[in-house]
């Protein structure tokens, strides 16, 4: 992937539901899929000499920010 390509978060496919208490919830199976995607990304980063744990942390933060935004949007 080149630096010019848009990177889409794996979490964009999550289904977020709003419960009667107003909280946003995600299916456990979706979380498992997301964690497997993050693990796969970490394995890919491990093969890149210029990448380190900061790169993996950045990818995880990116996913967390996306989920947070989706939850806020869903519960408005």
Residue 38 lies in a domain: yes
Residue 14 lies in a domain: no
Residue 13 lies in a domain: no
Range of the domain at 62: 34-76
What tens digit of pLDDT does each residue of 10-43 get? 888 888 989 999 999 998 998 898 889 888 888 8
Number of independent structural domains in the chain: 1
Reported confidence tier of residue 46, pLDDT bands at 50, 70, 90: confident
* Unique residue bearing structure tokens 């794996």: 10
pLDDT reported for residue 3 = 56
Residue 60: pLDDT over 70: yes
Residue 64 lies in a domain: yes
Residue 20 lies in a domain: no
Instruction: Give how far Cα 47 sits from Cα of 2, 24, 37, 52, 74, Å.
Output: 16, 36, 16, 10, 37
Q: Cβ contacts of residue 6 below 8 Å, gap of 6+?
A: none
Residue 2: pLDDT over 80: no
């Amino acid at each position: 992937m080149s630096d010019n390509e848009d990177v889409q978060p794996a979490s964009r496919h999550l289904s977020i539901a709003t419960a009667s208490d107003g909280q946003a919830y995600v299916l456990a199976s979706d979380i498992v899929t997301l964690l497997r995607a993050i693990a796969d990304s970490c394995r890919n980063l491990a093969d890149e000499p210029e990448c380190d744990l900061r790169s993996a942390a950045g990818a995880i933060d990116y996913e967390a920010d996306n989920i947070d935004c989706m939850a806020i949007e869903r519960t408005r």
